[in-house]
Amino acid sequence: MVLGLIVIVAIAAVLSYNRFVSQKNLIRDAWANIDTELRRRYDLIPNLVETVRGYASHEREVLENVTRARAAATGATGSPAEQAAAEGPLVAALRQLFAVVENYPDLKANQNFLALQGELTNTEDRLQTARRFYNANVRDYNRRVQSVPSNIIAGMFSFKEEEFFEVDESLRGEAGVPQVDFSGPGPAVSFGGEGAASAPAAPPAPPTGSGDDVVPPPPPSTAA
């Protein structure tokens, strides 16, 4: 009976170890999907900035903020938490950019801009899906790392908790990455969180000093 018990425990340990390995690989693959969508977003932003510059070249500070934030996010090669921290300023800069776009009807009707807007929207949707999938896998994996008896195997083979990929709440409010919508009146960018409906964002609150503050758009131009 003792030998049988040892065999059962050994089999259970092997199965638990193999499951940890499978979960680690799944998390790695899920992160690769997030990275792919982030790179696609980075590739779209320069063309977006140049298109806006053609209609609003005097909005130099806003355009430079987007360019700097993109460069910082592109250069981030650390952990998911460090990557998320680099994404925060980029999201905030994009919010400012699309607030400015609201004041240029000709720009909003430009076919090149509309095509870029569509690509960005699709990219953001895929990014949200990839982020949720990644975080769900991390949640399941971390639960096993912390739970008995699987935590014994985790400790023996150095399976450590993985980091979630979450944009800081102070930068995104309830939310995530920008969801662009020019189909009706109101702000061009909304930031809906997981499970939130894609609805126009509420008017931004006055700045409080956090990274999530959105610079209100300037008054509409009175020029014809």
CA 116 from centroid of its chain's CA atoms:
18
User: What is the rounded average pLDDT of the residues 115-135?
Assistant: 92
Burial, 122: exposed, middle or buried (Cβ in 10 Å; 0-12, 13-18, 19+)?
A: middle
Q: What does the pLDDT look like over 71-101, one tens digit per residue?
A: 999 988 778 988 988 898 998 899 899 999 9
Do 169 and 212 contact (CB within 8 A), yes or no?
yes
pLDDT at 77: 77
Q: What is the pLDDT of residue 163?
A: 94
Q: Which residue type is seen at 50?
A: E
Q: Specify the pLDDT at position 78.
A: 78
pLDDT category at 46 given cuts 50, 70, 90 is: very high
Q: What is the pLDDT of residue 20?
A: 96
Task: Please compute the mean of the pLDDT values over residues 58-69 and round it to a whole number.
Answer: 93
List, in sequence order, every residue forming a beta bridge with 179; answer none if it has no partner.
190
Tell how far CA 214 is from the center of its chain: 17
Query: pLDDT tier at 186 (50, 70, 90 boundaries)?
Result: very low
Q: Quick one: pLDDT band at residue 116, thresholds 50, 70, 90?
A: very high
Which residues, listed in sequence order, are joined to residue 180 by a DSSP beta bridge?
189
Confidence of residue 3 (pLDDT cuts 50, 70, 90): confident
Q: What is the spatial distance between Cα 206 and Cα 14, in angstroms, rounded to a whole number?
A: 56
Instruction: Let me know: does 91 contact 192? Beta carbons within 8 Å.
Output: no
Q: Is the pLDDT of residue 17 over 80?
A: yes
Which has the minimum average pLDDT: 20-34, 146-160, 174-188? 174-188
Asked whether the predicted pLDDT for residue 222 surpasses 80, the reply is no
- Domains belonging to the chain, first-starting first, are 2-190 (1.20.1440.20)
How many helices and strands in the chain, by DSSP H and E? Answer: 7, 2
**d(Cα 21, Cα 161) in Å, to the nearest integer?**
13
Instruction: Check whether 141 has a pLDDT greater than 60.
Output: yes
Gap between the Cα atoms of 49 and 37, Å rounded:
19
- Alpha-carbon distance values, 213 to 96, 120, 169, 197 (Å): 9, 22, 11, 21
In this prediction, residue 203 carries a pLDDT of: 42
Dihedral sign for Cα atoms in the order 69, 71, 74, 78: negative
